[in-house]
């Protein structure tokens, strides 16, 4: 059974896992010292039996209660805490590491926003563009300060407003100043976002791509659009280029899925319908996911959820300080209980 949980490699740390490591020990040899704990427990029980042969030499009420066994469980509790403290010391010496959530500061993220004319539609109040600005700012607020984020906008063209940076305040100012332009080029916007990521480039005129670095920076694009591409490169071709450069694309479609006959309930709209099939295909090709939002609140929730999902990663982190603290607490508690319950000889 242990074979499913423990893997020992003489050239690497000890891993406790099925598929994802749950604990890593930098110095696993110290774990063999835990085998002494059962021996100490046996020794403790033998000492108790040996002590029971001698008569009780105390007459106070508290001492009689201890001797008659009414508080025996407390004596065993002290011994158990002592053994637990020694076990925690063994784990500390082995220098345990655990996969803890930390900011994904090795990754780079690009927000790609559609600023075509249809983004002035008011089926999402106060407008699709204003809702997108608010969602992008909510994303920046939820992302750890060390995570690099960039900004690309696209309409009938694409433009890199900021490469990946940890200066989120500057990005927020750029987002606040966004305006509108004509037409929609989703493919161009995606290519611009991919090329802005570290180690990625636009393809050559013949369509070829240079080889990626050996360990490329994890690259992520969050692309939001409200319409259908009517200009520039085919979005699915751009998605295949992103996949070839190991870039994951999360797509967000915004706006009502179907126009309502009731103007007052649906709001004023302009432009064609949302092309969800293309956005879903882009996400599927690159290993991402597609989301749809028909309200400003839903759009904000999606971007906050994406920030929590892609801006954090689980990374092995040494937790020796935590196990050392636990060992100290166990040993101190054991010492206090022993001092309170074991009578002192006159």
296 φ, ψ (degrees, to nearest 5): -65, -40
Same domain (yes/no): 48, 63: yes
Same domain (yes/no): 147, 253: yes
Same domain (yes/no): 57, 113: no
Q: What's residue 197's pLDDT? A: 96
The single residue listed with the structure tokens 């002192």 is 344
DSSP string, 38-83: HHHHHHHHHHHHHHTTSPP---SHHHHHHHTTTTHHHHHHHHHHHH
Is residue 66 domain-resident? yes
Same domain (yes/no): 42, 120: no
Residue 285, by phi and psi: left (phi above 0), alpha (psi -120 to 50) or beta?
A: alpha
Same domain (yes/no): 202, 301: yes
Among 92-101, 258-267, 276-285, the minimum mean pLDDT is found in 258-267
Q: What's residue 14's pLDDT? A: 40
Same domain (yes/no): 285, 222: yes
Is residue 179 domain-resident? yes
Give tens-digit pLDDT for 209-266: 888 888 889 999 999 999 999 999 999 999 999 999 999 999 999 988 765 555 445 5
Q: Give the structural domain span for 273.
A: 105-310
Same domain (yes/no): 96, 110: no
Q: Is 31 exposed, middle or buried (0-12, 13-18, 19+ CB in 10 A)?
A: middle
Same domain (yes/no): 65, 117: no
Tell me the CATH number at 159: 3.40.50.410
The count of domains in the chain is: 2
Same domain (yes/no): 88, 112: no
Same domain (yes/no): 155, 264: yes
Q: What's residue 20's pLDDT? A: 46
Is residue 13 domain-resident? yes
Is residue 214 domain-resident? yes
Is residue 127 domain-resident? yes
Give tens-digit pLDDT for 192-212: 999 999 999 988 877 788 888
> Is the whole-model pTM more than 0.85?
no
Residue 103 CA to residue 217 CA, distance in Å, equals 14
């Amino acid at each position: 059974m242990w074979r499913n949980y423990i893997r020992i490699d003489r050239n690497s740390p000890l891993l406790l896992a099925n598929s994802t490591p749950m604990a890593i020990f930098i110095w696993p040899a110290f774990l063999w010292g835990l085998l002494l704990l059962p021996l100490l427990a046996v020794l403790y029980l033998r000492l108790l039996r040996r002590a029971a042969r001698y008569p009780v030499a105390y007459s106070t009420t508290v001492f009689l209660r201890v001797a008659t066994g009414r508080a025996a469980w407390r004596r065993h509790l002290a011994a158990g805490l002592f053994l637990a403290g020694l076990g925690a010391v063994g784990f500390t010496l082995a220098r345990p590491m655990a996969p803890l959530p930390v900011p994904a500061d090795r990754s780079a993220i690009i927000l790609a926003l559609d600023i075509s004319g249809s983004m002035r539609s008011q089926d999402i109040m106060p407008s699709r563009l204003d809702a997108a600005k608010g969602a992008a700012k909510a994303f920046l607020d939820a992302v750890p300060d060390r995570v690099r984020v960039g900004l690309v906008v696209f309409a009938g063209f694409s433009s890199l407003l900021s490469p990946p940076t940890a200066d989120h305040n500057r990005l927020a100012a750029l987002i606040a100043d966004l305006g509108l332009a004509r037409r929609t080029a989703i493919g161009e916007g995606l290519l611009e976002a991919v090329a802005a990521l570290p180690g990625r480039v636009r393809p050559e005129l013949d369509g070829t791509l240079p080889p990626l670095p050996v360990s490329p920076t994890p690259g992520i694009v969050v692309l939001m659009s409200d319409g259908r591409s009517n200009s520039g490169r085919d979005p699915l071709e751009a998605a295949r280029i992103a996949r070839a450069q190991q870039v994951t694309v999360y797509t967000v479609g915004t706006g009502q899925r179907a126009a309502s006959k009731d103007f007052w309930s649906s709001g004023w709209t302009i432009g064609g319908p949302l092309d969800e099939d293309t956005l879903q295909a882009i996400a599927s090709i690159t290993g991402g996911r597609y989301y749809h939002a028909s309200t400003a609140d839903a759009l904000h929730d999606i971007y906050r959820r994406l920030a929590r999902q892609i801006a954090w990663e689980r990374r092995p982190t040494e937790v020796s300080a935590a196990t050392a603290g636990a060992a100290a607490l166990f040993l101190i508690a054991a010492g206090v209980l022993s001092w309170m319950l074991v009578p002192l000889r006159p």
